Amino acid sequence: MIRSTHLPLLITIATFVLAYTLCASQYPAMLSTRVVANLLTDNAFLGIAAVGMTFVILSGGIDLSIGSVIAFTGVFLAVILRDTSIHPLFAFVLVLAITISFGAAMGAMIHYLEMPPFIVTLAGMFLARGAAYVLSTDSVPITHEFYDTLQSLYWKAPGGGRFRLTGIIMLLTFLAGIIVAHRTRFGQNVYALGGGLSTARLMGVPLARTTIGIYATSGGLAGLAGIIFSLYTSAGYSLATVGVELDAIAAVVIGGTLLTGGTGFVAGTFFGILIMGLIQTFIVFDGTLSSWWTKIVIGGLLFGFILLQKGLTWATTLRRKPATEFAAQS
Amino acid sequence: MTAHVHNTFRRITPQLIILAAVLLLNFMVFPDFFRIEFQNGRLFGNLIDVLNRGAPTALLCIGMTLVIATRGIDLSVGAVMAIAGAVAASLAVDGHGWQVALTGALAVGALCGMWNGVLVAVLRIQPIVATLVLMVAGRGIAQLVTEGTILTFLDPGLIHLGAGTILGIPTPILIWIALGLAVTAAVRKTALGMLIEAIGINESSSRLAGINSRVLIISVYLISGVCAALAGVIVAADIKGADANNAGLWLELDAILAVVIGGNSLLGGRFSIVASLLGALIIQSVNSVILLSGMPPEFNLIIKALIIIAILVIQSPTVKHALYILRASAEPQPSEPIKEAKESPQ
């Protein structure tokens, strides 16, 4: 029996499969492992950030700061590796500590000052971007042996596709996200929070700890995404990744998560990312379509999925009353 | 009547104090800040610049205040600015007069606003999601209109809207003040404002009370779209070209901030357009302080963020409540708490 809560996820997966089949029927080369591997590598940083965004949106909040946090992380790593001689691994730990505490601070402001997440994370977005500008306004290249080692790590699949470390980290992040969301108390608390603040409080959900934890997770994952992005570009630039938060939100919505919170799946976000990556790949393959069609198609997809969710919620509320009567009879 | 003026004044007192403080800061870093000169048939001065440069945000926040008062939000205004600028520019390039270009841009803005309004009011989609669609797709549409280039135009009438003057005062200032006054009059001299507030406080009960919430919600998004289109035309006229990628980029966030700094609750309900406009001026004055102080430009954003966080923390419900408790326990007058309770948005 397919539960209606699973339906958006199934439709997202079906859309992806259908879109991929259509693309492949037009360009058979799309089936090669190279394309699949690039799909994972190119969207690795976005995917990791979107996992954090999924948790935030599941809890009924929003995090506008992640694009800026990714840029800050990149610039911070580039500057610290240029000016000091510390090992990149230590720099990674340092930057993750900063981004996690940054997220936690935003969560604390949201909870204790009772301010809307939209406004708090908007200020956070300005702050993180500003901090990146202060560190450096130029694009700073990263030249470190350890970076070369990390970038050269890949598994070469038959067909020439290179599954790089960054793509694998994204897959692991999604796996961890799925486990945390569905198999831990924290995950259940996130869903409860999204279902309604007062209900969650009455159920005994630790509101302060959960809210701070959610935004710390999102901040930390944005930091991880920043590390991956710096591996991807070998540089840190304060103007990079502008508007990534919108892509992440779009991926989460296309993945079937309700923006009101409480309903959705981390796995859906994964397919949302893949669908968005697929559109870009198709435009590259086609060659005649202009880049702005990406935005228009993603906007159209967003609209389609929102309508679908609306239809489903409407259908389930219509069906609920007769369903309880049936249950009483049987 | 005097009581009414008194109430309005009390409502905007915090914004006036913050604005005065920021302007004083401007004066401290740049002693000539308040000097206004009349040269070459127009007014010059830093104060005029603040009013002029703040025009796009001010225009956006007029519509945004109404949208937020209905418990909504309009994320698409930046993208609508880009679309409207592109439409105006392409009409001007095709040889139409500035009247046609302006009307075309405003009509497109109204259409965009109506689309948002229908999604929110008829399809019952959450405002933040409904307007996200146009925010994502809008810049693509604008690029489609300009075909990916920056469309430049030379129509003097259109350029006048952004860079010209009337009686020595830059046109953008006159436009936002006139529109602000007109909309304020429209909502305050009639029952419209109260009806909009009723929707924001509780939509279902407002509908039960006989308010046609559907039409009203569509119209506030429509007004927001028209305001955004006007701002888009001004921005395009100012640079004599339509830049689909950068026109109005992130201005939706500035506009929302202006509304919030203006003391309007994001949860809807009571609103004040005048306070929002003051909020827009506060944001522009903060920008001006940072520029005039001669600090390295890379500090701009971080200082702006810190000032905004400070303003938001002062206005947050928790801090307000704590201040209220402090004041109430300091001077136990029976009339004071009742007045304060009336002031609070709920």
Decide if A223 contacts A216 (C-beta within 8 A).
Answer: no
Q: Which residues of A touch B300 (CB under 8 A)?
A: 130, 133
pLDDT tens digits for B168-215?
888 999 999 999 999 999 998 888 888 888 898 888 888 888 888 899
Phi-psi region of A235 (alpha: psi -120 to 50; beta: other; left: phi over 0): beta
**Which of the residue ranges A132-141, B6-15, B331-340 would you say has the lowest mean pLDDT?**
B331-340
Q: How confident is the model at residue A4 (pLDDT cuts 50, 70, 90)?
A: low
Residue to mutate among B136, B253, B320, with most A CBs inside 10 A, is B136
pLDDT at A1: 44
- Give one DSSP letter per residue of B257-324, joined into a string: HHHHHTT--TT-S---HHHHHHHHHHHHHHHHHHHHTT--GGGHHHHHHHHHHHHHHHHSHHHHHHHH
Is pLDDT at B81 greater than 90 in this prediction?
yes
Terminal Cα-to-Cα distance of chain B (whole angstroms) = 24
Residue to mutate among A122, A197, A247, with most B CBs inside 10 A, is A122
Q: What is the pTM of this model?
A: 0.83
Residue to mutate among A246, A296, A314, with most B CBs inside 10 A, is A296
All domains of chain B in start order, with CATH: 2-315 (1.10.3470), 318-346 (no CATH)
**Which of the residue ranges A55-59, A272-276, B165-169, B223-227 would you say has the lowest mean pLDDT?**
B165-169
- B123 in contact with A, Cβ within 8 Å: yes
Is pLDDT at B345 greater than 50 in this prediction?
no
Neighbours of B219 (CB within 10 A): 19
Is pLDDT at A324 greater than 70 in this prediction?
no
Is pLDDT at B77 greater than 70 in this prediction?
yes
- B293 in contact with A, Cβ within 8 Å: no
Is pLDDT at A329 greater than 60 in this prediction?
no
- List beta partners, residue B38: B43
CB contact under 8 A, A295 and B136: yes
The pLDDT of B35-53, averaged and rounded, is 81
Is pLDDT at B64 greater than 90 in this prediction?
yes
The pLDDT of A63-82, averaged and rounded, is 93
Q: Give the closest-approach CA distance of A161 to chain B in angstroms.
A: 32
pLDDT tens digits for A293-316?
877 887 887 788 778 777 776 776
3-state secondary structure (DSSP) of residue A251: helix
3-state secondary structure (DSSP) of residue B166: strand
Q: How confident is the model at residue A318 (pLDDT cuts 50, 70, 90)?
A: low
pLDDT at B3: 65
- A326 in contact with B, Cβ within 8 Å: no
For residues A1 and A7, give the distance between their C-alpha atoms in angstroms, rounded to a whole number. 11
Is pLDDT at A31 greater than 90 in this prediction?
no
Q: Which residues of A touch B140 (CB under 8 A)?
A: 292-296, 299
Partner-chain residue, chosen from B124, B129, B298, that has the shortest CB–CB distance to A259: B129
pLDDT at A326: 46
Phi, psi of A235 (to 5 degrees): -160, 165
Q: Give the closest-approach CA distance of A158 to chain B in angstroms.
A: 38
Q: Does domain A7-323 have CATH number 1.10.3470?
A: yes
- B56 in contact with A, Cβ within 8 Å: no
**Position with higher pLDDT, A299 vs A223:** A223
Decide if B259 contacts B146 (C-beta within 8 A).
Answer: no
Is pLDDT at A325 greater than 50 in this prediction?
no
The pLDDT of B83-91, averaged and rounded, is 92
For residues A281 and A34, give the distance between their C-alpha atoms in angstroms, rounded to a whole number. 12
Q: Which residues of B touch A131 (CB under 8 A)?
A: 302
pLDDT at B299: 78
Phi-psi region of B148 (alpha: psi -120 to 50; beta: other; left: phi over 0): left
pLDDT tens digits for B113-129?
999 999 999 888 888 88
Total beta-carbon pairs less than 8 A apart between chain A and chain B:
121
- A87 in contact with B, Cβ within 8 Å: no
Give me the residue spans of the domains in chain A. Answer: 7-323
Partner-chain residue, chosen from B140, B298, B300, that has the shortest CB–CB distance to A293: B140
pLDDT at A97: 96
pLDDT at B342: 44
CB contact under 8 A, A292 and B148: yes
Q: How confident is the model at residue A107 (pLDDT cuts 50, 70, 90)?
A: very high
Q: How confident is the model at residue A319 (pLDDT cuts 50, 70, 90)?
A: low
Decide if A249 contacts A57 (C-beta within 8 A).
Answer: yes
pLDDT tens digits for B260-275?
888 888 778 888 899 9
3-state secondary structure (DSSP) of residue A326: helix
Averaged pLDDT of chain A? 86
The pLDDT of A144-162, averaged and rounded, is 80
Winning range, highest mean pLDDT, from A48-52, A154-158, B204-208? A48-52
Minimal CA–CA distance to A221: which of A45, A13, A48? A48
Is pLDDT at A132 greater than 70 in this prediction?
yes
Averaged pLDDT of chain B? 84
Q: Give the closest-approach CA distance of B189 to chain A in angstroms.
A: 31
- A311 in contact with B, Cβ within 8 Å: no
Partner-chain residue, chosen from A113, A260, A290, that has the shortest CB–CB distance to B313: A113
In chain B, what percentage of residues exceed pLDDT 70?
A: 94
The pLDDT of B59-83, averaged and rounded, is 92
